[in-house]
Structures are given as structure tokens and as C-alpha cells.
Amino acid sequence: MALSNTTLSMTMATIDASIVIVAMPAIFRGIHLNPLTPGNVTYLLWMIIGYLLVQSVLVVTLGRLGDIFGRVRIYNLGFVVFTAASIALSLDPLTGPGGALWLIAWRMVQAFGGAMFMANTAAILTDAFPANKRGMALGVNQVAGISGQFVGLLLGGLLAEWDWRLIFWINVPIGLFGTVWAYVSLRELAVTRKARIDWVGNLLFAAGAAMLLTAITFGIRPYGTSATGWGNPLVIGGLAGGVALLATFCVVETKITDPMFQMGLFRIRAFAAGNVASLLGSIARGGLQFMLVIWLAGIWLPLHGYDFEQTPLWAGIYMLPLTAGFLIAGPISGTLSDRFGARPFATGGLLLAACCFTGLMLLPVDFPYPAFAVLIFGNGVGSGLFAAPNTAAIMSSVPAHHRGAASGMRSTFQNSGMSLSIGVFFSLMIAGLANTLPRTLTAGLTSQGVPLATASSIAHLPPVSTVFAAMLGYNPVHNLLDPTGLLSTLPPHSVAVLTGNQFFPTLISGPFHHGLMIVFTAAAIMSVIGAIVSLLRGKPVRAQAPQAEELQAAREAGPVAAALNVTPSAPRPAPAGHPNGRPLNAAASNGHGGNGHGGNGHGAGRPGTGERSPAKTGTCE
């Protein structure tokens, strides 16, 4: 019940993170707004990145609230918020900039509901499944969530062919079913710990993360004569201010009685290394998704006879090997990691991804598809090998009463990696194009009769609009020339050549490949560094999942257990034929990770507090 319900919610939330990318042309046509004109690029960016930003900012807070008020309660409320926001998105009554702002605002509300899922899903599964099945469960859930990002690309293209509103309506029946099912089927297994809400910590984290990610978003936009906005004082100030606020948050959290997040958890090597590796892997993977869409939709598919309007949908179809790699590797690696530990699979997965990034750099721009399919399939396998074991290792390393906040922090690292990836990789790509595209585009336009002054003016426009046009299925040259009125004055043959399927892809192939080399080199390096960090995570360290009989014993223990803030374990029946009713597990019998001899074994707790020491937690059977 827990696995199937949480997998439904994670898939729905991650599909919606990417479903608008391919459907963007249909959405903006529906609200009568051209997203590629200079003043409207901001709407386009916030439609894509606003969703990720809200989730990145809120997941830690919502995970901590799950620890205090109940993970299932916060999770169930997420279905309600997500479904209500989907209905509001579907009913957008406005057009023009007002219609775009309506969609952006309700997408952020929808992301708030999705953050409730993502903050508590891993904690709910960790509570529900024993340690020897946890990797399998989290593997299925994580791979369904990650593959949802790519399924969203395909669904967005298919549904937008009928009506752009369908990409939001599709969530409504699923959300209604999930809401009822969650309230009926899920039960709270974790013991909630009443605590004050850390308003200072929440505000510092939200403000710092929002400022940092917003600055990265605006770094993609042109500033003055520069192709990107990294020289904008507001962007620089946002980056510096965001880092300063997050650093202040880390200090404040060590001084508060009931902090939003226990910074001491980062002393657990498995937790710290797993999150850093997740951040690096997410940055590499997020860049891959967008670069492949641009590569396929802007160059490869037009060269192979596809109209620009059809390329976003077919880009999603041609990327299915990547999704297949996730789906195959994730559950298998999760199951095997339950037996052999997370380190070999997580480390090997990132190394495989780095090799595939290197292979993609060696392909020509007009590549043979079988080679491309093998490489992106291998990349999907590598990401699937990494995701499930890494998540299981992170969640199993922390005490049970901190799992909500830990799950939120894990999601923050993952979502922040996606946002960072979009900002950094788009900037690297645009910087590469800005160095080579103007000269190439000027030569190509003048060869077809475009006056030199006009060609030079168009060629020196910020390349961000050209990149987005290629990604979203607009004809880039037509989009550049149409506002000038030149298309009506040129000979029909020249117009046919300029707006045909071959001119722009052939023209941009060289500059794009230059940018692509920069991006994939960065992704490969981050994957290798992530693999090194993963290798240093140490041996498996698992915290005990709360079992039903233990929770019942805690309730029956009354005020003594409550005063000590501890959940006592109920006695378990001895295995058949086992002398003295002692457990067979060595960790429990010798005192490591359990109560030990007379409750004084290693790792049993801190004297006088009843709290289990994170550094000494073990597997209790």
C-alpha cells in the first residue's frame, strides 16, 4: 500500500516538472503570447524553473513538519493541494502576460503540493519497510520519480496536440483518486515528536535558497551586451546573499532547542556523502535532459526530415532508451543493495554515467541513432544504479525521528541540483554559442540575400531565444526574421531555404557542438567527483525502522517513555529451537546497535537522554 501510493504521487509530481517543457508552444499560443520575444523570456523561464525552485525551498520545512505532526498527514494534504492547483491551471481565464502570471503562480502552488509528497515519501517508505527490503522499495519509488521527468516530455507532446489544458487536466482524476486512496489506505507508523516550529530557521532557509536559485535563474537571461546575466549586480548580490543566509541558517540551527534540521546529521558520513553525491549526480543528469532535447529537436530531427513543430514530441520518443535504463536498473540495484550495500552500486552508477557522457562527446552532431541510443541507455542505467541505493543509504543512516527532515534535505539537494544544472549548463551552452554563432549566422544569412546590416543585427541578438526556439519546436530562423518583415521581400527560393529543415541545423551544428563539448565535459567531471564522494561513504549504517509492535509498546509504556523521549522495543518471540529466546543477530546479542547487555551496549543511547547516537546506530533485529 505504502509503495504503490507513494510511487503514484512521486511519478505525478515529477511528470509535472517536465510536462510543460514540450507543451510550452501550445500553452503560449493558447494564451496568445510569444514566449521568445525579449520581454517575454522571463515568463518562459519561470514556467520551467519556478516549479523546481518552490520544491527545493520547501521540502526541508515540510519534512520537519512531518516529523512533528505526522508524515502521512502532510503527505495526504499534498494530494489535495496538488489536485486543486491542477484544476486552477486548467481553468486559466486570462490571456497575454496576465495568463502567463496565472500559470506561473498556480504552478508554484502545485509545486507546494508536490513538495509535500517529496518531503515525506522516502520517510514513509523507510518507516514501512524493514532494512532488508528498504532498498527495493526506495528503488522502485525513486526510479519512478526520475523516469517521470522523461515521461513528462512525451506526455506533454502528445496531449498538447489536442489541447494545452489537457496537460493539467490529466492530473485531476489521478489526484482525486490518490487523495481518497491515501486517506483510506495509509497509516502513521512513526511516533510524532511534538516540538516548537523553528520559525527563524525556516525563514532563513527559505529566503537563502530562494535568493540563490532565483539568481541562478536570472543568470541565464542576457544582461546589457552580454549573452548571460552573470555580470548583473543583482545576480551577483543574489548569489552572495543566498550563500550568506544559508551559512547563517547552519549556525543558527546549532543554537536552537528544536531546530528545523539537525545539523549533527551531517556528522554521519553516509548521510553527508550520500547527499553530496546526490547533488553532483543531479546536476549532471539535469543538464543531460535539456541538452538532449535541444540536440534532438533543434538539429538532429530537422536534419532527418521532421518539421520543427513536431520535433519536441519526437525528441521525447527518441529519448525513451534513457527512461528504459532508469526503469530496468533502479529496482534491480535497490534489491541488490539490500544484500551487498549501497557503495558499489551508487559509485559504479556514477562512473558509468561519466563514461556515457564521454561517449556522447565523441559522437558527431548528426549521429547514427543506434550509437546514441546505447549511450543514453547506459546513462539511464548508471543513474538508476545510483539513485535507489543512495537514497536507501541516506534514509537508513539517520534515527527514525529525524527521517522526515532528512528526507526533505535529500530532496532539497536533488531538486537544487536540477535547478543548478539548468542555470549552469544553459549558461555554458549559451556562452559557447555566443562565441561562435554570430559569425556563422551572419555568413549564412547574407548568403541567402539578407542585407549585411540586418544579418549582423540578428546574429548578435542574445542566443538564449535561439536555444529556446530550437527546444520548443519553433522554426528559429523564421522566429528571428519574421519581426523584420524581410521574409516578404526575399525571393521565394531564399525564403524556402532559410526556413527549411536543413538551413538552421546545418548552420548551428558547429557552434552547438562546441557548447555541447563544454556541457558534457562538466557533467562527466561532476559524475566522477560524485563517484569519489560515494566511495568515501563508509560501510552501511542502518537505523532501526519503527515496527508496529514497538510502537504499541511505546504507547503502553506511558509517561516514562515519553519523558525519556524513547521508543522501547516490545519483546519478540524467540525463533523456534533457539535457546534462551535470544536473538540470532550478532549486532543485537553483542550490544552493537541494539540495547546490548542490560541496555548498556555500544550505541544504545546517550545517558540520561534515551536518544540513540547517530554515529553508533546499527541494524536491530
pLDDT in tens, 526-562: 999 999 998 888 665 544 444 443 444 344 333 333 3
Q: What local confidence, expressed as pLDDT, does residue 539 receive?
A: 67
Among 99-108, 120-129, 480-489, 609-618, name the one with the lowest average pLDDT. 609-618
Name the one residue in this structure whose C-alpha cell is 529466546.
581
**Residues 6 or more apart in contact with residue 493 via CB below 8 angstroms:** none
For domain 2-185+258-431+513-535, give the CATH superfamily: MFS general substrate transporter like domains (1.20.1250.20)
Q: Taking Cα atoms as reference points, which of 424, 479, 419, 429 lies closest to residue 25?
A: 479
pLDDT(618) > 70: no
Going by C-beta distance under 8 Å and a sequence separation of 6 or more, which residues neighbour residue 514?
Answer: 432, 433, 435, 436
Residue range 271-302, pLDDT digits in tens: 888 889 988 988 888 767 778 888 898 889 99
Supply the mean pLDDT for the chain: 78
Q: How many CB atoms lie within 10 A of CB 484?
A: 14
Residues in the chain: 621
Report how far apart, in Å, the C-alpha atoms of 17 and of each of 212, 425, 519 are.
20, 18, 22
pLDDT tens, 430-441?
777 777 778 888
pLDDT, position 99: 92
Q: Using 50, 70 and 90 to split pLDDT, how confident is the model at 100?
A: very high
Q: What is the pLDDT of residue 540?
A: 59
Domain boundaries, the chain: 2-185+258-431+513-535, 197-257, 432-512
Per DSSP, what are the bridge partners of residue 226?
Answer: 223
Residue range 142-161, pLDDT digits in tens: 777 777 777 787 788 788 87
Question: pLDDT band at 388, cuts 50/70/90?
Answer: confident
Residues 6+ apart with CB under 8 A from 397: 268, 270, 271, 274, 541, 542, 543, 614, 617
Percent of the chain with pLDDT over 90: 15
**In sequence order, which ranges of 31-130 are alpha helices (DSSP H)?**
41-69, 71-90, 96-128
Map grid coordinates 546517550 to a residue.
606
pLDDT at 513 over 90: no
- DSSP label at residue 2: H
Task: Return d(Cα 224, Cα 231) in angstroms, integer.
Answer: 9
Residue with cell 510502537: 551
Q: Report whether pLDDT(522) > 80.
A: yes
Q: Is residue 194 helix, strand or coil?
A: coil
pLDDT in the model for residue 560: 34
Among 71-85, 415-429, 579-593, where is mean pLDDT lowest? 579-593
Query: To the nearest whole percent, how much of the chain has pLDDT over 70?
Result: 85
Q: How many CB atoms lie within 10 A of CB 593?
A: 25
End-to-end, the C-alpha distance of the chain in Å comes to: 23
Give dist(CA 52, CA 42) in Å, integer.
Answer: 15
Q: Which of 56, 36, 54 is nearest to 44 (CA)?
A: 36
Mean pLDDT across the stretch 116-136? 81
For 189, the grid coordinates are 507508523
